[in-house]
């Protein structure tokens, strides 16, 4: 290790910044953010008096001779100095910093490559949750109580570990600080009584299928979960991002296997969380868009258990992006509606008449088999037969298929998808914007458009 990383308390202490320009400004801002009494000084008129009492000096004049001269002055004044971009003149170097309101990570390559330090900082920024400061606050709030109530050091450590990475931490990171405190109090009570504290459920959107479209939080939770209860629409590539030893349970409906009723899924969630597990309920797309996430939240809330909801990229957004279809467009569409295709079959009909309008995009979540019904409803409501449509099957996945056509032809278009044999989930986009679709290279489908 070339430099020893130390965190220097600068609050109220004099720090000299000599020079001007962005590098000097950056150093002044950083020192100020640590509470330093920053003095901006001019290299040309710098005196020993200016440096007296300073605990550190930053120099960034941009001129080699001036940097060297100021460096000599600071050394003569006995002040540790950092000269920007001149490692040979530095008593200390500036690390790349990740700052989450008090939780600070400093990265140094010993001056060898500031670029590498910056790249590493980017990776650490992405890996660390945003509200780390809340975790630090939570730990501070509970320190005295825990030390007083839990005598055994091993159990105390276990409590703090759980506090910063267990259910309370997850609520805090999701912005629910009051909920986090409540859960932490419950954990403390359980720890005192040597009982198993209850766990937490995360209702997580898995996105449309491409694992790179998981949110950062979803990816973090997949690494934390004891158990993952997932829909069949969640592909193996997404499940592969789960912690190795997580229990992965399919609660989807698939032929040849007893299917899970929604009530059974709710019961299973509650059972596992009561037993202390961290459970990820992983749902395709977004849990609150045709995902029945609301019912699972009700069950957890009724049971008085902790939960968070993590949004995901819903199929309409994923499919539109990967098929090159702008859902709204200044010239073609000023509104977009997400419609469930199932309602085309059962009694609860969407208001087709208000949907079949020009300048309005429809993203219809449905299997290809329901296409004729949707076509008939839209035509019956007055839509134009020549309205562009696109079908996106397996959107965002390696086997994505896109075809385009006209509303009058929707059933034939959908039949071609069924014949292609992938039988993946598909979404229909109706409206002028559908004409923007980049049709997939599949020969069987390309000819349809």
Ligand X SMILES: C[S@@+](CC[C@H](N)C(=O)[O-])C[C@H]1O[C@@H](n2cnc3c(N)ncnc32)[C@H](O)[C@@H]1O
Half-sphere exposure (Cβ direction) of 391: Cα atoms closer than 13 Å: 33
How far is Cα of residue 387 from the mean position of the Cα atoms in its chain? 36
Q: How far is the CB of 210 from ligand X (least distance, A)?
A: 8
Interhelix angle 153-165/132-149, rounded to 10 degrees, is 160
Binding piece for ligand X, criterion CB under 6 A, among 211-219, 313-321, 345-353, 436-444: 313-321
Q: How far apart are CA 161 and CA 184, in angstroms?
A: 12
Taking the complex as a whole, how short is the minimal distance between the CB of residue 253 and ligand X, in angstroms? 10
Per CB under 6 A, does 260 bind ligand X? Answer: no
Span interacting with ligand X, options 30-38, 50-58, 279-287, 409-417, rule CB under 6 A: 279-287
| Minimal distance, residue 251 CB to ligand X, in Å | 13
In this complex, which beta carbon is closest to ligand X, that of residue 30 or of residue 313? 313
Q: What are phi and psi of 229, to 5 degrees?
A: -100, 115
Count the alpha carbons within 13 Å of 10 in the hemisphere toward its beta carbon.
21
- Taking the CA atoms of 268, 243, 240 and 221 in sequence, report the sign of the dihedral they define: positive
Nearer to ligand X, 15 or 320 (CB): 320
Check residue 325 for interaction with ligand X (CB under 6 A): no
Query: Does 431 contact ligand X by CB under 6 A?
Result: no
Check binding of 311 to ligand X (CB under 6 A).
no
The three-point CA angle 357-358-362 to 5° equals 65
How far, in Å, CA of 175 to CA of 133, rounded? 11
Q: Footprint of ligand X on residues 195-224 (CB under 6 A)?
A: 208-209
Among 58, 159, 290, 352, binds ligand X (CB under 6 A): 290
Q: How far is CA 62 from CA 118, 332, 338, in A?
A: 21, 53, 57
Q: Check residue 319 for interaction with ligand X (CB under 6 A).
A: yes
46 near ligand X (CB under 6 A): no
Count residues near ligand X (CB under 6 A): 24
Which CB atom, from 16 or from 414, has the smaller least distance to ligand X?
A: 414
* Catalytic annotation, pick one of 50, 231, 266, 409: 231
Residues 374-403 that bind ligand X (CB under 6 A): 392, 394-397
Q: Please give the backbone phi and psi of residue 199, each rounded to the nearest 5 degrees, phi first.
A: -95, -145
* SS3 state at 40: strand
Please tell me whether residue 437 binds ligand X under the rule CB under 6 A.
no
Q: Which of 19, 167, 197, 285 binds ligand X (CB under 6 A)?
A: 285
Identify which of 391, 402, 338, 398 has the alpha carbon closest to the alpha carbon of residue 367.
Answer: 391
C-alpha 320/C-alpha 363 separation (Å) is: 9
Interacting residue with ligand X among 203, 213, 309, 427 (CB under 6 A): 427
Q: How many residues does the chain have?
A: 449
- In the bound complex, what is the minimum distance in angstroms from residue 41's beta carbon to ligand X? 58
Looking at the Cβ atoms of 244 and 255, the one nearer to ligand X is 255
Name the one range near ligand X by CB under 6 A: 67-75, 103-111, 287-295, 434-442: 287-295
Burial 385-415 (b: 16+ CB within 10 A, else e): eebbbbbbbbbbbeebbbbbbbbebbbebbe
- What minimum distance in Å lies between the beta carbon of 344 and ligand X? 12
Which of residues 163 and 317 has its CB atom nearest to ligand X in the complex? 317
Alpha carbon distance 243, 223 (integer Å): 4
Stretch of residues binding ligand X (CB under 6 A), selected from 61-69, 103-111, 154-162, 360-368: 360-368
Q: Which stretch binds ligand X (CB under 6 A): 189-197, 314-322, 374-382, 404-412?
A: 314-322
Q: Check if the beta carbon of residue 230 is closer than 8 Å to that of residue 239.
A: yes
Backbone phi and psi for residue 157, each to the nearest 5 degrees, phi listed first: -60, -45
The pairing of strands 388-393 and 360-365 is: unpaired
Query: Which position among 272, 283, 332, 417 is part of the footprint of ligand X (CB under 6 A)?
Result: 283
343 makes contact with ligand X (CB under 6 A)? no
Determine if 315 is a binding residue for ligand X (CB under 6 A).
yes
296 belongs to the binding site for ligand X (CB under 6 A): no
Give me the residues paired with residue 66 across strands. Answer: none
At its nearest, how many Å lie between ligand X and the CB of residue 135?
Answer: 30
253 tagged catalytic: yes
Report d(CA 8, CA 21) in Å as an integer. 25
Q: What's the N-to-C CA distance of the chain in angstroms?
A: 63
Q: Which residue is nearest to ligand X (CB)?
A: 285
The residues that touch ligand X, with contacts defined as CB under 6 A, are 208-209, 233, 283-286, 289-291, 314-315, 319, 365-367, 392, 394-397, 425-427
Q: Which sequence positions are flagged as catalytic?
A: 231, 253
């Amino acid at each position: 290790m070339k430099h020893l990383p130390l965190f220097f308390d600068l609050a109220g202490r004099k720090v000299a910044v000599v020079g001007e320009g962005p590098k000097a400004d950056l150093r002044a801002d950083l020192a100020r953010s640590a509470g330093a009494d920053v003095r901006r000084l001019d290299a040309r008129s710098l005196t020993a008096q200016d440096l007296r009492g300073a605990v550190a000096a930053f120099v960034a004049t941009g001129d080699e001779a001036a940097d060297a001269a100021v460096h000599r002055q600071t050394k003569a004044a006995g002040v540790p100095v950092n000269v920007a971009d001149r490692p040979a003149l530095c008593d200390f170097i500036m690390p790349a910093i990740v700052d989450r309101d008090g939780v600070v990570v400093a990265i140094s390559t010993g001056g060898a490559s500031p670029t590498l330090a910056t790249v590493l900082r980017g990776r650490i920024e992405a890996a660390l949750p945003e509200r780390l400061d809340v975790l630090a606050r939570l730990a501070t709030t509970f320190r005295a109580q825990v030390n007083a109530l839990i005598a055994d050091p091993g159990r105390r450590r276990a409590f703090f570990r759980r506090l910063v990475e267990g259910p309370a931490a997850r609520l805090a990171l999701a912005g629910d600080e009051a909920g986090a405190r409540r859960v932490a109090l419950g954990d403390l009570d359980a720890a005192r009584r040597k009982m198993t504290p209850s766990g937490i459920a995360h209702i997580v959107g898995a996105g449309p299928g491409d694992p790179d479209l998981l949110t950062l939080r979803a990816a973090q939770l997949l690494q934390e979960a004891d158990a993952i209860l997932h829909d069949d629409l969640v592909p193996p590539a997404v499940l592969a991002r789960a912690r190795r030893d997580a229990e992965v349970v399919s609660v989807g409906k698939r032929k040849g296997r007893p299917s899970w009723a929604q009530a059974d899924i709710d019961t299973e969630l509650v059972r596992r969380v009561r037993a202390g597990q961290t459970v990820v309920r992983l749902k395709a797309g977004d849990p609150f868009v045709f995902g029945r996430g609301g019912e699972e939240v009700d069950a957890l809330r009724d049971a008085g258990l902790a939960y968070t909801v993590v949004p995901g990229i819903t199929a309409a957004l994923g499919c539109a992006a990967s098929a090159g279809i702008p859902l709204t467009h200044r010239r073609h569409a000023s509104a977009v509606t997400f419609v469930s295709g199932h309602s085309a079959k059962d009694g609860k009909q969407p208001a087709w008449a208000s949907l079949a309008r020009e300048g309005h995009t429809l993203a219809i979540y449905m299997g290809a088999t329901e296409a004729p019904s949707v076509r008939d409803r839209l035509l019956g409501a007055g839509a134009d037969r020549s309205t562009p449509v696109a079908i996106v099957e397996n959107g965002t996945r390696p086997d994505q298929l896109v075809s385009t056509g006209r509303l009058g032809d929707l059933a034939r278009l959908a039949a071609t998808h069924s014949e292609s044999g992938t039988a993946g989930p598909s979404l229909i986009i109706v409206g002028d914007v559908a004409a923007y679709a980049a049709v997939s290279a599949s020969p069987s489908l390309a000819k349809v458009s």
